[in-house]
């Protein structure tokens, strides 16, 4: 399945059904009077956040969503049937934006099962029975149904993760997420092997949290260089960022500053989020050079720098401990879930 994180769609709620003009005409009943019923209500447009979706690819092949119209009224004071609502399933973390220059935020679906009635269907029109008065005994007027609402909107997906991976291309992010989760991210000895965000669930010390890997950033990403900063939105909701720096790079400190500058240029509070910094690929550098680069990077970032090799597993536990500390209470208990599964028996 291809990954798509934004789409433009057209929405239209259902119009109300027209009211009826009818008179009661039955044998042995004189002057039956008006009995035209009201029209039914049109269908609403409802967005629902569902589990199991992590892309907006379905909206590439269908851009128009129109709720059905309500049925018209009928004689014998029969009210038309209201139309069914149109429920549009979207991934958790989907934002609905207005189709304007500012792309104003209209709704944000962040929990499974969350529903929002986005466009209301039109009310049904009045039948002639509702117009009957003491002075207007035989009205022949009725009301058409109220039209539905319509608009174009943008859908933007921001993945929900507890921790996010940052770094320059080839910093070892995909190797790291493959080592600590069951994700099968593409790994290669060339830049930009990751072209779409990856999600994985980390189970560490009987706790679970979600880790997100986004494509590598380069200098000028905020201005559209390389893949740009489009995928940074997927880590806006993360509680902590794991910044991986390649130990074998000529200047790890410069690589670190490049990413920090892009976070500041992007904004959205990313530069203020807690960070765990780690030097990766330490198995490729001798101990003396590794220690020197670690000291220089600690001086640049102002806090502890971890040493890690995802290929050999060295230092991975220390990094996960630091992430788990920052994630805090949002990390679920993996042990309880495992115990529940182990306790179940068909006998």
What tens digit of pLDDT does each residue of 43-82 get?
A: 999 999 998 888 898 998 999 999 999 999 999 999 999 9
Beta bridge partners of 317: none
Q: Annotation-wise, does 311 bind a ligand?
A: yes
Which pLDDT value is given to residue 212? 85
Kind plus residue range of the DSSP H or E element containing 61: helix 58-61
Given a contact cutoff of 8 angstroms between Cβ atoms, the answer to whether 322 and 274 are in contact is no
pLDDT (average), residues 228-243: 79
DSSP structural state of residue 230 = G
Q: Annotation-wise, does 221 bind a ligand?
A: no
Per-residue confidence band for 344, with pLDDT thresholds at 50, 70 and 90: very low
Which pLDDT value is given to residue 340? 47
Helix (H, G, I), strand (E, B) or coil at 92: coil
Which pLDDT value is given to residue 343? 52
Per-residue confidence band for 135, with pLDDT thresholds at 50, 70 and 90: very high
Q: Annotation-wise, does 216 bind a ligand?
A: yes
For the four alpha carbons of 177, 182, 186 and 188, in that order, the dihedral sign comes to positive
pLDDT (average), residues 268-272: 81
Which pLDDT value is given to residue 223? 57
Dihedrals φ, ψ of 225, to 5°?
-70, 140
Which pLDDT value is given to residue 331? 64
Residues 275-306: pLDDT tens digits? 999 999 888 888 888 888 999 999 988 889 99
DSSP structural state of residue 47 = E
pLDDT (average), residues 183-187: 66
Query: Which domains can be identified in the chain, with CATH numbers?
Result: 6-157 (2.70.210.12), 163-327 (3.40.50.300)
CA gyration radius for the chain? Answer: 29
Q: Annotation-wise, does 315 bind a ligand?
A: no
- On the question of pLDDT at 40 being above 80, the answer is yes
Retrieve residue 79's tokens. Answer: 């009210």
Q: Annotation-wise, does 177 bind a ligand?
A: no
Per-residue confidence band for 342, with pLDDT thresholds at 50, 70 and 90: very low
Q: Annotation-wise, does 214 bind a ligand?
A: yes
- On the question of pLDDT at 193 being above 70, the answer is no
Q: Annotation-wise, does 281 bind a ligand?
A: yes
Q: Annotation-wise, does 8 bind a ligand?
A: no
Q: Annotation-wise, does 196 bind a ligand?
A: yes
Retrieve residue 178's tokens. Answer: 């493959």
Which pLDDT value is given to residue 132? 94
Query: Among 4-13, 14-23, 202-211, which stretch is predicted with the lowest mean pLDDT?
Result: 202-211
Instruction: Kindly report the average pLDDT of the chain as a whole number.
Output: 85
Which pLDDT value is given to residue 167? 84
pLDDT (average), residues 140-159: 94
- On the question of pLDDT at 38 being above 50, the answer is yes
Residues 73-117: pLDDT tens digits? 999 999 999 999 999 999 999 999 999 988 899 999 999 999 999
């Amino acid at each position: 399945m291809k990954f798509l994180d934004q789409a433009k769609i057209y929405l239209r709620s259902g119009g109300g059904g027209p009211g009826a003009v009818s008179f009661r005409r039955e044998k042995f009943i004189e002057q039956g009077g008006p009995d035209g019923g009201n029209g039914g209500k049109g269908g609403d447009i409802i967005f629902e956040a569902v589990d199991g979706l992590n892309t907006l690819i379905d909206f590439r092949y269908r851009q128009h969503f129109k709720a059905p119209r309500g049925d018209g009224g009928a004689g014998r004071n029969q009210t038309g049937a209201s139309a069914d609502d149109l429920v549009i399933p979207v991934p958790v973390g989907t934002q609905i934006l207005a189709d304007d220059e500012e792309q104003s935020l209209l709704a944000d679906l962040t929990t499974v099962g969350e529903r929002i009635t986005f466009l209301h269907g039109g009310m049904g029109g009045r039948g002639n029975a509702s117009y009957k008065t003491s002075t207007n005994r035989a009205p022949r007027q009725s009301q058409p149904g109220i039209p539905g609402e319509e608009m174009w909107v943008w859908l933007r997906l921001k993945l929900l993760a507890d921790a996010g991976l940052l770094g320059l291309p080839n910093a070892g992010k995909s190797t790291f997420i493959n080592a600590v989760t069951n994700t099968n991210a593409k790994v290669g000895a060339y830049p930009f092997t990751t072209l779409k965000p990856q999600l994985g669930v980390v189970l560490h010390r009987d706790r679970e949290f979600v880790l997100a890997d986004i494509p590598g950033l380069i200098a000028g990403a905020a201005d559209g260089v390389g893949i740009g900063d489009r995928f940074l939105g997927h880590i806006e909701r993360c509680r902590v960022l794991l910044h991986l720096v390649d130990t074998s790079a000529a200047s790890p400190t410069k690589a670190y500053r490049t990413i920090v500058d892009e976070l500041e240029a992007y904004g959205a509070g990313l530069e203020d989020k807690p960070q765990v910094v780690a030097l990766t690929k330490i198995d490729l550098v001798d101990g003396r050079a590794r220690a020197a680069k670690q000291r220089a990077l600690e001086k640049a970032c102002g806090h502890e720098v971890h040493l890690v090799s995802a290929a050999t597993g060295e230092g991975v536990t220390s990094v996960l401990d630091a992430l788990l500390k920052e994630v805090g209470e949002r990390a679920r208990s993996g042990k309880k879930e495992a115990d529940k599964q182990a306790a179940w028996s068909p006998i």
